Structure 1
Amino acid sequence: MRKDILIRILGGFIIGAVLGQIVQFFVSLGISQESYFWVVPEFQALFESETMAIMTQVVLTGLIGITFALAALFFEIARWGMLKQYIVHFFVTALIWIPIVVVLWMPKTMANMFSLFASFLGTYIVTWLLQYKLSKRDIEKINAMLIERGDFHDN
């Protein structure tokens, strides 16, 4: 396996696990002001011990991080257009992120499921728009530099 892929996997796992614990901190604040919950009670109930629940939560949030780190490689497939890159990235990340978030933190109601999907989609659209505008700006700068050097003629 290439070294850069291993670095993405390790970095993605660490970032995902750390962000997962930050999310858990805020979820715990929402559950109780008096004590800290390392995992939500509904998730902990799936395990024989709190330690196993915590370790599983870390692995699952690390998996989210790995997914986003590796899915970023879709944007490096030059023969794919931007639209295809974003559609594939969206579905791959949603396929991993949504079920894990539901299992770890979300009460299982249709309203919550809709809210979760809508927030993921909304965040994705905002991110896509920002990326699109940044990419367009960068392309315009590169084209302007090429025109200035005489390497490119804008028709």
Structure 2
Amino acid sequence: MKKRILLQVVLGSLIGVCISFIVPLFISMVVNDGNYYPVALEMQQAYGNQLNAVIIQVMVSTLYGAAWGIAPLIFTIEKWSLLRQTVTHLLLTSLCTFPAAYICYWMDHSVVSIISYFSIFVVIYLGIWVFQYLNIKNQIKRMNHKIHTLN
């Protein structure tokens, strides 16, 4: 299990850093003025210069990716109920996403933005969770049907 956790942390970290460079690339392409915008302007101003901001964003994205990398392992804890797994996963992912979004200025630093962040996060999370739940339930139904037709 320790190997799996380490692998998930490393892969998650690498994916987090990759995403932190790919998203700004797409944003820069949309702006389409010939410049690359690796970080939010507010972040650059807050941390003194672009290099400092990029270094911080890479460090944050590494930790953020690591947290998201291990988050699915919560659903492998068989002694926990689905409710406990889901709530723990939601707390881990939302509480690691918020500081990353705040530190990297992916959101405005206001009470309204914080409330909006958590509202949007929970709605998206619940939407994905319900979709996954129904999909898994349907797969179980099909497997049970195959088992019953074999007997």
Mean Cα deviation higher: 40-49 or 83-92? 40-49
Aligned-pair distance for 1:134?
A: 1.2
Number of the residue aligned with 1:62:
62
Structure 1 counterpart SS, 2:113? helix
Question: For the aligned residues, what is the CA RMSD?
Answer: 2.4
| CA distance in structure 2 between the partners assigned to 1:41 and 1:103 by the alignment | 13
| CA distance in structure 2 between the partners assigned to 1:11 and 1:37 by the alignment | 25
In structure 1, give the amino acid aligned to 2:112.
A
When the two structures are superposed, what TM-score results if normalisation uses the length of structure 2? 0.84
Mean Cα deviation higher: 119-128 or 12-21? 12-21
When the two structures are superposed, what TM-score results if normalisation uses the length of structure 1? 0.82
Aligned-pair distance for 1:73?
A: 0.6
Structure 1 residues 41-120: aligned runs within 5 Å: 41-104=41-104, 105-120=106-121
Aligned-pair distance for 1:109?
A: 2.0
Deviations 1:16-45 (A, max 9, x none): 112222333455578884633222232223
Q: Which runs of 5+ in 2 are unaligned?
A: none
Distance 1:30 1:112, change over 3 A: farther
| CA distance in structure 2 between the partners assigned to 1:86 and 1:31 by the alignment | 38
Q: How many residues align?
A: 150
1:127 equivalent in alignment to 2:110? no
Q: Aligned residues: percent identity?
A: 29
In structure 2, give the amino acid aligned to 1:132.
Y
Q: Which runs of 5+ in 1 are unaligned?
A: 151-155
